[in-house]
Amino acid sequence: MIELEKRAYLREKHLEHREYQLKIAKECVSKNSLVVLPTGLGKTVIGVYVAAETLEKFPSKSKILVLAPTRPLINQHYDSFKNLMTIPEDQFLVLTGKTVPEKRVELFQENQIIFYTPQTLRNDLVNKKYNLEDVCLIIFDEAHHATGDYAYTLIADEYVDQNPDGTILGLTASPGASKEKIKILCNNLHIPLTNIHTRTRKDIDVKTYLKPMDVYKIGVNLTELMRDAYLAIQTLLEERLQYLSQLGFLTTKASELHTKVIRKDLIALNTELIRLVKGDGDKTGVYSALSVNAQALILYHMLELIEQQGLDVLLIYLMKLKQDARKKTSSKAVKILASDHRVNQIYIELKKNEDLSPKQLIHPKFYILEKLLLQEFKNNPDSRILVFVKLRDSVKNIVNKLKLSNHETIKPTRFVGQSTKSKDDKGLPQKKQLEILEQFKQGHCNILVSTNVGEEGLDIAECDLVIFYDVVASEIRFIQRKGRTARHREGKVIILYCKATHDEIYMNIALSRLKKMNINLKSDQQLKTAYTRSPKEMKIEESSIEDSKYELPKMAKSHQKQGNLESFLGESVSPLDVKDNSQKATEIRISQSLPVKFGIRKKLQEDNIPFDVVKSINHITLFDRIIIQVVDPRQFEEGKLMRKISHLNKKYPLFISIFDFVNFSNDYQDEERLLKQKVKNWGSISGLKAIPIDLPEELYFIVKNVYLHSTVEHEVS
């Protein structure tokens, strides 16, 4: 049984110790690490274990920051850490944008465990409100967000720069499918690829903690009316794609381009066309192509509405398109499509059916949904069901239709984000969202029809059934949705899709990427020993569709700084020259009170030099013969330091005083120069080692070289 030592910072009785959590946590202490676990396996508890163990190794006032994308998720972490750790309650704090910046500075200084929304911390770091030198650990929850310009990336860069000894812990259920995405994520969070710790629902050591999850997919065919509208819009799209191809803006050549060009290609082309418009080069055909490409994107959206949402939602969209076309600010693309006679013909046909046979406009998936809900409540009247829908218009339509069905067992409610789209589509403030979630828990409503706002970051009650009303191609969103069930009791996931359309392709891509992700995260040995297949748990046909290929951006070079101590200790020793000391008795002891900004702990680990962290007034002790002490030059008292050295010299032959001028700021003119002169004079007169340093790397340069030289002497003697 793997065990963490009993720690003063943990409420042991409040924890259900699981072996896989303890094992992973031990591997993450003092190492930048990524933990990938399915929802429900306790990533937060691993974060608590790592936090408690880290605090044991750092100065007593060291801080821990916990970051998560949303305020509700931050509040959940706040409750978990507060309940599971022994740190006084008044040392825990949630900081969001609702707290004014000036007050945040004061609160940051006063508290030890701080929970942030990432944008808040990023803003404070950009504005240099405070630094992260006293932070020993940052936990990035939902770490898959660490891409592009998201706040996590900047925060990780600042942290590593300001505090080389600090630890980063990333937590996620879904880091991305391809090796390239996983590498980029780890690079952005400064996590070595060797420090990824993962489990899947199929791993032997976690299966006992998970409830069974059955996953099904149900396909429907387009109705005749849907197929007619679909083919008409497809023809319009094909005309635009062929035009772009003839102008040379699409490299793909084919008689049916709509089968080769996807929406992502059109978005990329739009970006390129805007760049050409803003540039100084030849703009022949660019403006025309920009408008045609915009039309193609609108038509592509119409096809997706037919596939995923139904003709009733398409009709709403066409009505809005016509209204927008009448506005002076309307784009050329909107006006052209709104006036196209074929688009008008589709609109007239849909309007006619709305009056005469409105059921013809409803997607066949809705009727399947209705049957599934009735069947579920027949089998289990206390069920809680979460239905994920892509568009807010569809959320409203589905809720209204379910209410009109007059089934007593069906009690649906709309669940969307905070932003208000229009008078008929008002957002839900966070307070209202929490009220709805509480009603869902209590059973006042038993079906949440939700947009992607329900995928992560909210404490949604245990769901017995999760239904994907439409498909997402993203494996990350697929995992987040799926993770809303089978936490504490058996659960089901049902994917509804439209056969022989992009809808089916997206589903297969998501499933293929999901399988790839699990393979890419596992080592060869893990794949051989830990992967057992359970037919009951996975009833999805796995796709052979290949994932898209992405070129991996070049890794940014690590931050380089120069030392200036080679003249003192002679030629430096490369980390490559360090022997394997992993089996040697610990010969270096690091005091908890040593400031973390020097990065000593991590650098010793990287060079495979063993050390212990201890409670001691002596900062660094080597071989029980040498002491290296870091001294604040402003608090340097010659007599007091001499008395300490004289006392210690009885046991330690060598005492090295390191005077910390890292980030020194003069309070008066020439203060730094005068203090360095004072240190130099004191060293010369006393005959002692007194070394001023200007960069944090210089301290490790001294420690490593003293250690290596002493090791040689030790072995010779």
pTM of the model: 0.69
Sequence length of the chain is 717
Q: How many CB atoms lie within 10 A of CB 222?
A: 20
pLDDT score, position 650? 67
Contact in structure between 464 and 380 (CB atoms under 8 Å): yes
Q: CA-CA distance, 76 to 69, in Å (whole number)?
A: 12
Chain-centroid distance, C-alpha 157: 15
Domain 213-220+364-501 indexed as CATH 2.60.120.10? no
Q: Which amino acid is at 535?
A: P
Contact in structure between 388 and 454 (CB atoms under 8 Å): yes
Residue 71 has pLDDT above 90, yes or no: no
Task: Between 320 and 608, name the one with better pLDDT.
Answer: 320
Residue 706 has pLDDT above 80, yes or no: yes
Tell the residue number behind the tokens 């490299």, with chain if given. Answer: 251
Same fold, 213-220+364-501 and 224-361: no
258 φ/ψ angles, rounded to the nearest 5 degrees? -65, -15
The pLDDT of 696-706, averaged and rounded, is: 88
The pLDDT of 525-531, averaged and rounded, is: 40
DSSP bridge partners of 629:
657
Instruction: Name the band, by pLDDT with cuts 50, 70 and 90, for residue 393.
Output: confident
Q: Angle formed by the axes of helices 43-56 and 19-28, to 10°?
A: 50
Q: CA-CA distance, 242 to 296, in Å (whole number)?
A: 11
The pLDDT of 268-297, averaged and rounded, is: 91
**Could you tell me which of 503, 452, 504, 462 has the C-alpha nearest to residue 483?**
462
- Residues 6+ positions from 91 with CB-CB distance below 8 Å: 111, 112, 113
Q: Which amino acid is at 59?
A: P
Residue 70 has pLDDT above 90, yes or no: no
Any idea which fold 12-199 has? Answer: Rossmann fold (3.40.50)
For residue 263, the SS3 value is helix
Provide the token pair at 546.
Answer: 């290949």
pLDDT score, position 3? 52
Element (H, E) at 630: strand 626-631
CA distances (Å), origin 225, targets 368, 391, 453: 18, 22, 32
Rounded to 5°, angle at Cα 340 from 335 and 345: 130
Q: CA-CA distance, 164 to 160, in Å (whole number)?
A: 5
Q: CA-CA distance, 308 to 358, in Å (whole number)?
A: 18
Q: How many CB atoms lie within 10 A of CB 546?
A: 10
Residue 648 has pLDDT above 90, yes or no: no
pLDDT tens, position by position, 587-602: 899 998 888 888 888 8
The pLDDT of 149-168, averaged and rounded, is: 92
Q: Angle formed by the axes of helices 179-188 and 502-521, to 10°?
A: 60
pLDDT tens, position by position, 413-422: 999 888 887 7
Q: CA-CA distance, 478 to 514, in Å (whole number)?
A: 8
Q: CA-CA distance, 555 to 545, in Å (whole number)?
A: 29
pLDDT tens, position by position, 502-512: 888 888 888 88
Annotate 398-420 with DSSP letters as a single string.
HHHHHHHTT-TT--EEEE--S--
Quote the percentage of the chain above a pLDDT of 70.
Answer: 86
Task: Between 697 and 201, name the one with better pLDDT.
Answer: 697
CATH no. of 224-361:
1.20.1320.20
For residue 461, the SS3 value is coil
Q: Which residues of 600-625 are buried (b: 16+ CB within 10 A; e: fewer)?
A: bbbbbeebebebeeeeeebbbbbbee
Domain ranges of the chain: 12-199, 213-220+364-501, 224-361, 566-716
CATH number for the 566-716 domain, one of 3.40.50.10130, 1.10.10.10, 3.40.630.40, 3.40.50.300?
3.40.50.10130
Annotate 123-150 with DSSP letters as a single string.
HHHHTTS---TTEEEEEEESGGG-STT-
51 φ/ψ angles, rounded to the nearest 5 degrees? -60, -45
What does the longest C-alpha to C-alpha distance in the chain come to? 104
For 275, left (φ over 0), alpha (ψ -120 to 50), or beta?
A: alpha
Q: Which amino acid is at 327?
A: K
Contact in structure between 174 and 517 (CB atoms under 8 Å): yes
560 φ/ψ angles, rounded to the nearest 5 degrees? -105, 135
Residue 715 has pLDDT above 60, yes or no: no
CA distances (Å), origin 597, targets 165, 265, 499, 663: 6, 46, 58, 11
pLDDT tens, position by position, 436-484: 988 998 989 999 999 888 776 556 667 889 899 988 777 777 777 777 7
Residue 301 has pLDDT above 90, yes or no: yes
Chain-centroid distance, C-alpha 558: 21
Q: CA-CA distance, 596 to 136, in Å (whole number)?
A: 7
**Could you tell me which of 604, 622, 627 has the C-alpha nearest to residue 700?**
604
pLDDT score, position 6? 57
Provide the token pair at 504.
Answer: 């089916």
Q: CA-CA distance, 17 to 5, in Å (whole number)?
A: 12
Q: Within 13 Å, how many C-alpha atoms sit on residue 243's CB side? A: 17
Residue 534 has pLDDT above 70, yes or no: no
Tell the residue number behind the tokens 């676990």, with chain if given. Answer: 37
DSSP bridge partners of 631:
659
